[in-house]
């Protein structure tokens, strides 16, 4: 293996740049030539590929977003698009590729590998932390810290006015951000897709809170919760408790930006180095993850088909600590 490429794909996540830097520096130190593919699979199809040297990744470890840009490519979902992508890679004599992204990225990589046999190693990059094969994904820790910072501020104003706030965090299909930020911000309720019937138990908790004369509350809602999101649940609770003044805050894409935390920089650096070593050892069609603080490679097939559910202990901790 002499020439490898790296790209970022799907939703950006803080720490992706630290991952690109680690790939470039680690591969260059082993004598490999590294290329950056810009704009994800779309750039691969269009041949938007440029050489990346060690100096090109200076001064990026602290930056959110991705210097390689990202995209969601419809064209790559077609066999023709993937054929063009394979031609672009072979025009640059690329022997192996490192893909940084989430479920959609590895679903694409898996089909591409089956059709064209180009070795791919993945790195988990998504704020949602919903990938099987790694305890944490790059960007999750930063997104949680950004959300907690916002929720702490909301707590100040909620306390001053005795209001009930519903705060919606990201996670289209996953409650990891909701669970972690809910526990970390001391929320009175945490509504996530992995817990059924959480609207009813929230109403019970709020009733108890009223009895104890607890005057304000924060409820964290994952955007993917079956209740339909923070605005929806706020209306329902308002009907039940007309005496509460309810307010809704959707943190949204704020959670995707910002400088990565130390934990995300370390995770991205470890995985970038591991992905390069994996490619050199002949690993293909696998994602590098960290499980129990050790690097582990998991088949793309398992990463995209097996689900990772939040730890039961944390789920019940969220409920126990919510009762003030």
Provide, rounded to whole angstroms, the least separation between the CB of residue 198 and ligand F6P: 18
Q: How many CA atoms lie within 13 A of 176 on its CB side?
A: 24
- Cβ of residue 78: shortest distance to ligand F6P, in angstroms? 20
Identify whether the C-beta of residue 170 lies closer than 8 Å to the C-beta of residue 230. Answer: no
Query: What are the strands of the beta sheet with 3-8, ordered from one edge?
Result: 49-52, 33-37, 3-8, 96-101, 120-124, 286-291, 294-299
Query: Measured from the CB atom, is 76 or 244 closer to ligand F6P?
Result: 76
Residue nearest to ligand F6P (CB): 11
Catalytic status, residue 128: yes
Q: Tell the smallest beta-carbon distance from residue 248 to ligand F6P (Å).
A: 17
Contact predicate 120/283, CB 8 Å: no
- Is residue 267 a contact partner of residue 258, using CB atoms and an 8 Å limit? no
Cα 16 to Cα 23, 118, 197, 238, distances in angstroms: 11, 22, 36, 41
Q: What one-character-per-residue DSSP string does 143-202 give?
A: HHHHHHHHHHHHHHHHHHHT-EEEEEE--SS--HHHHHHHHHTT-SEEE-TTSTTHHHHH
Nearer CB in complex with ligand F6P: 106/297: 106
Nearer to ligand F6P, 96 or 139 (CB): 139
Interaction site with ligand F6P (CB under 6 A): 11, 126-128, 170-172, 223, 256
Task: Identify which of residues 130 and 198 has a Cβ nearer to ligand F6P in the complex.
Answer: 130
Give whole-number Cα distances, 321 to 120, 187, 197, 199, in Å.
Answer: 43, 8, 18, 17
State the minimum distance, in angstroms, from the CB of residue 224 to ligand F6P: 7
Collapsing DSSP to helix, strand or coil, 240 comes out as: helix
Q: Which is nearer to ligand F6P, 164 or 170 (CB)?
A: 170
- The catalytically annotated residue of 128, 130, 141, 264 is 128
Q: How far is the CB of 74 from ligand F6P (least distance, A)?
A: 13
Residues catalogued as catalytic: 128
């Amino acid at each position: 293996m002499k020439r490898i490429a790296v790209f970022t794909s799907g939703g950006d996540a803080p720490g992706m740049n630290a991952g690109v830097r680690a790939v470039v520096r680690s591969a260059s130190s082993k004598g490999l030539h590294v290329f950056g593919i810009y704009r994800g699979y779309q750039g691969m199809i269009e041949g938007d590929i440029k050489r990346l040297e060690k100096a090109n990744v200076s001064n990026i470890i602290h930056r959110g977003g991705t210097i390689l840009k990202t995209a969601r490519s419809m064209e790559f979902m077609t066999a023709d698009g993937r054929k063009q992508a394979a031609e672009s890679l072979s025009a640059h004599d690329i022997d192996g590729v490192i893909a940084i992204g989430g479920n959609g990225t590895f679903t694409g990589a898996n089909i591409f590998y089956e059709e064209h046999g180009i070795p791919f190693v993945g790195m988990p990059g998504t704020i949602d932390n919903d990938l099987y094969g790694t305890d944490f994904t790059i960007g999750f820790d930063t997104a949680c810290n950004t959300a907690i910072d916002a929720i702490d501020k909301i707590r100040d104003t909620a306390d001053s006015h005795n209001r009930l706030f519903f705060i919606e965090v990201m996670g289209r299909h996953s409650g990891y951000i909701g669970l972690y930020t809910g526990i970390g911000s001391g929320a009175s309720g945490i509504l996530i897709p992995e817990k059924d019937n959480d609207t009813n138990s929230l109403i019970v908790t709020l009733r108890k809170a009223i009895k104890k004369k607890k005057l304000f509350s924060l409820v964290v809602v994952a955007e993917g919760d079956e209740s339909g999101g923070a605005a929806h649940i706020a209306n329902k609770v308002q009907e039940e408790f007309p005496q509460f003044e309810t307010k809704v805050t959707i943190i949204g894409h704020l959670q995707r930006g910002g400088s990565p935390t130390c934990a995300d920089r370390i995770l991205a650096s470890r995985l970038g180095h591991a992905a390069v070593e994996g490619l050199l050892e002949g690993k293909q069609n696998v994602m590098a993850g960290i499980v129990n603080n050790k690097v582990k490679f998991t088949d793309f097939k398992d990463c995209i088909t097996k689900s990772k559910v939040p730890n039961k202990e944390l789920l019940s901790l969220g409920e126990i600590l919510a009762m003030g």
